[in-house]
Structure 1
Amino acid sequence: MANQLTGKILYIYPTQQLPSKDGSKIILKRGIVIDCTRFDPYTGERNGFENTPMLEFIGDRCTELDKYQVGQIVTISFDVQGTRYRNKDGVEQIFTRVQPYRIEPRQTQQATSVQQPAPQPTYQQQPQNFPPPQGDNDKLPF
């Protein structure tokens, strides 16, 4: 199952070159900040809690951000990864990473043709052919 965030691009950082732990490789890293703050569907007002995560693309995926500009609305697919480790005091802790792997412009639905409203059915009242009254037996007590 893919995790996704949709929001407006606030900032795209320049690509950084970081040496690997052993110094044998250069790792590319580039961040993007998007505004994912929710809106109230009834009033259209922004929620009071701002949501502006920064996601970091690694390696070859850094060049994907060249296609986008600040202000564009995008959807970013990502994985959440966690690693357990023990700190200096021997206490186990968990390091959680959000690893984006795809960025796409938000898809908008565009109508290719104007749909005509469906024709409304017409109703005609049919004549009611009741049998003629049959004397006093047909009178009801109410």
Structure 2
Amino acid sequence: MIILLQLLLVAGLILIVLQILKMSRGESANSRVFNPPSEANALAAESPVKQVLGALNSLKIARAELKQEYPAALAMIGGYLNSHTVVDAGSMDAATATMINDWSDRSDEVRRDLAKILADYETDEEIEAVIVAVSDLELEKGNYRAWLTWLLAQFTK
């Protein structure tokens, strides 16, 4: 749900930027001047729903690619840190503890994937994008790398 709201916000911002660009070129909203089709015009002509559908499609493709690259870690995080399992466990901390316990048998795979995520992405925002793409985990900005590092440490004990 949060991802959908973020995508709607991004789509809205895109529409605003496109309108500002049109106005800066001297075009009014009611301009009758013919503009040859272009990608920007086509995007502006699309309904917000179609724009969101396009963004969701892109998200699905990116999510599948991420899951293929880091299968164990993202299956684990996505399977345990979603709204349903967090409610069932009672808290995010309890769901995380259950996740760590249940995946301890596959610690080699999990360690490999977690270390690879940390190595492949330099910024906290990039790591946040990976985690948010597969789960409902919400941390304060700047804490995703630290959390993933902590999680990796739990599997190296």
Asked whether the two chains share a fold, i.e. TM above 0.5, the reply is: no
- If you compute each CA radius of gyration, which structure gives the higher value, 1 or 2? 1
Structure that is richer in strand per residue: 1
With normalisation by structure 2, the TM-score equals 0.17
